[in-house]
Structure 1
Amino acid sequence: MILYGLKTCDTCRKALKSLGNAEFRDIRTDGLPKEVARAAHDRFGAALVNRQSTTWRGLSDAERARNPLELLADYPALMKRPLIDDAGTLYLGWGRDTQAALLE
């Protein structure tokens, strides 16, 4: 299991603590592999981009209109976190549904 997120993200730290067997990858330093980004975008669509973040609010309208995968490559903090890859099954966020699926 691989957890993609930011080391400074409280939600990512909570998820990592709960998932003792997860490998953590910081998307700011390691980046998000293109194939994972594509699969996540195919699965979650617009939900992959956190439109409530301060990074998003700081973008111009032209930047916001760019392809989401390009935006995430340039601004990793825009990704809703964490993104969890459990043997090819992707989960986004650390809500009750994700916790129920991964902690049982």
Structure 2
Amino acid sequence: MTEIDWTAVQRVAHVVRGEWTLAIVRALMNGPLLYSRLKSEIENGPLMSGCMLHHSTLSRNLANLVQCDVLERRQLSGGYQPSVEYRLTDFGKRVVRVLREAGQ
């Protein structure tokens, strides 16, 4: 029997308790998204369909997930306006694997 890393379990539990966390992680499962596309995916996705997600709420949740090493934030240059892209980190991908296991 494999030993359980309870520290990792606690870390995942801490991360997924956020109000919008599951919707954010789900939206980023298939790859990185620009901020505006991410917001749209969350608002139109199956978890929060029809909910209006305020920019301040999304920004606060994204900053928390970056701080918890679930997401990576990248500033993209070029074009008329600079863009921000979000993607899952290696730890974020582990969170997805745990959630997939729990959902089966």
Same fold (TM over 0.5): no
Of structures 1 and 2, the one with the larger relative CO (CA 8 A, separation 6+) is 1
Q: Compare the two structures and name the one with the higher helix fraction.
A: 2
Q: TM-score, normalised by structure 2?
A: 0.32
TM-score with structure 1 setting the length: 0.32
